[in-house]
Amino acid sequence: MRIVVLDGFTLNPGDLSWNELLNFGELTVYDRTAPEDVLERSRNAEVLLTNKTVIDRNAIDNLPLLKYIGVLATGYNVVDLSAAKQRGLVVTNVPAYSTDSVAQMVFAHLLNITQRVGHYSDEVRFGKWCGQSDFSYWDTSLIELAGKKIGIVGFGHTGQATARIAGSFGMEVYVYTSKQQRDLPEGVRKCELNDLFALCDVVSLHCPLNAETKEMVNGSRLSLMKSDAILINTGRGGLIDENALATALKEHKLLAAGLDVLSSEPPQPDNPLLKLTNCFITPHIAWATREARIRLMKQVIENLKAYINGNPINNVLKND
**Of 109, 116, 206, 236, which residue is the catalytic one?**
236
What does R_g of the chain's alpha carbons equal in angstroms?
Answer: 22
End-to-end CA distance of the chain: 27
Amino acid at 268: Q
Q: Is 236 a residue of the active site?
A: yes
Q: Is 284 a residue of the active site?
A: yes
**Of 32, 119, 252, 265, which residue is the catalytic one?**
265
305 CB-contact burial (10 Å; exposed 0-12 / middle 13-18 / buried 19+): middle
Q: Between β-strands 256-259 and 230-233, what pairing exists: parallel, antiparallel or unpaired?
A: parallel
H or E segment and range at residue 304: helix 290-308
**Of 2, 43, 87, 284, which residue is the catalytic one?**
284
Q: Is 265 a residue of the active site?
A: yes
Question: How far is Cα of residue 155 from the mean position of the Cα atoms in its chain?
Answer: 14
Q: Which of 25, 73, 42, 240 is nearest to 153 (CA)?
A: 240
C-alpha span between 269 and 93 (Å, rounded): 32
Provide the annotated active-site residues.
Answer: 236, 265, 284
